[in-house]
Structure 1
Amino acid sequence: MKPLDLANWFVYDGEWEPTIAMKRELLAQRRESVLAFRDDAHDVAQEAAELVLAWVGKSTERRGVDALVDAALAVPDDLTVLRSIDTPDGEQLPFVAGVVCSPSRWRLTEKIGLDMLAVHKPVAL
């Protein structure tokens, strides 16, 4: 993996505000289908939230996954969090938390806990 150029992390365009409004509605009406997390994800969710919120010049008093929700409502992009885990087979990157409002033919609950490579396997059409 290559480091992300944080200067170009998010792109402000005409879809920014409408997408955030859609995310707000989905979180209010179907939170369990757009937010998923493992119990061990609160610290990395907090870290990700702080990075995203700093990028847009905001902060939150909330912690853990709740902070990730605040961050997800500050940018139009879906947010997913991976945790680096060393195993005898090498590093694994399981998907441990996310606010995903725009999946393409898959459900968030089907992917949570899977390693990054398994998350990106083709989905059935």
Structure 2
Amino acid sequence: MTAILQQSLPREMAERRPLPGIAPLDPATWLRVDEAFAAQMAERARLLAGQRDDVIAVTEGAGPAVDELLQFVLDWLAAHGDGYDISEKEVRRPDGVTVPLDRADPMGTLGHLVQEDLCLMEKRGEEHVLTAAVLCFPASWRLAEKIGRPLTAIHVPVPEYDAGLARRVQRLFDGVQPGRPLWRFNALNYVDPVLHQPRSRVQPSETADLPYLRSERQCVLRLPRTRACVFSIHTYVLAR
């Protein structure tokens, strides 16, 4: 398979920041369309058609938040999505592909609309839990191992995610307000540029000086009605 690569990272992702590296985000800049859009969307379509159970998960009770997320994305695209044309029944993307609006399959529809993977985090007891996701481009984690689990379990076995950082991240999810999203980014070295890289959570990530840089622009925002948090991931892969 031909590698799907971007040529460069956005300027704001050029310098590493201490964990958790959170900064305010202009809501109008939430979702991105970059030079790899058409190729990444084609790969998403392939995964959604052939490996749906690996890339989509929705837990019982997540329906209201999932429905709100689809409408939230449609409203955002109507206001800020350059190159999108939205009608009641379909969406024409910037690459010219038309996506039917299937409200009976919100996460599947979202997977065909935007470059970002989208994870829903809802408060269950003391922690936010991953209740639904469309995750086509995992970076060394499996959706099946994380769905329905709280933040602390999701981040096992990330070495930097100690008890202190876990408290800070939970406070972040508790505190994010509608209309005031946050963002961060990471950067990892990989030997393989393939976008869909699930691994068992007991396997380590690749940390050596390897030929590909993989960086994720991660945003956190709160849906106003259900109060669910959306964790979005825009994946960049560059050859070194």
Question: Given the two structures, how large is their TM-score scaled by the length of structure 2?
Answer: 0.46
- How many angstroms does 1:72 deviate by? 2.2
Please point out which of 134, 143, 146 is paired with 1:111.
Answer: 146
- How many angstroms does 1:2 deviate by? 7.2
Residue 31 to residue 114, structure 1, CA distance change in 2 (3 Å): same
Q: Which residue of 1 aligns with 2:103?
A: 62
- Matching of residues 70-85 of structure 1 within 5 Å: 70-85=109-124
The Cα RMSD (Å) is 2.0
Distance 1:72 1:4 in 2: 23
Q: Which residue of 1 aligns with 2:26?
A: 5
- Structure 1's consecutive aligned runs of 4 or more residues displaced over 6 angstroms after TM superposition are none
Give 1 or 2: higher strand fraction. Answer: 2
For residues 38-80 of structure 1, give each alpha carbon's deviation from its aligned partner in whole angstroms, at most 9, with x where no partner exists.
01111111111111122222463514xx112212211111111
Distance 1:61 1:29 in 2: 18
Question: Given the two structures, how large is their TM-score scaled by the length of structure 1?
Answer: 0.83
Matched, 1:23 2:44: yes
Equivalent AA in structure 2 for residue 42 of structure 1 = G
Q: Which residue of 2 aligns with 1:44?
A: 65
- How many angstroms does 1:5 deviate by? 3.0
Distance 1:94 1:62 in 2: 23
Distance 2:65 2:25 in 1: 17
- How many angstroms does 1:29 deviate by? 0.5
Q: Which residue of 1 aligns with 2:198?
A: none
Moved more, 21-30 or 9-18: 9-18
**2:66 and 2:106 in contact (8 A); partners too:** yes
Give 1 or 2: higher helix fraction. Answer: 1
SS of residue paired to 2:49:
helix
Structure index of larger Rg: 2
**1:36 and 1:97 in contact (8 A); partners too:** yes
Overall identity of the aligned pairs, in %: 30
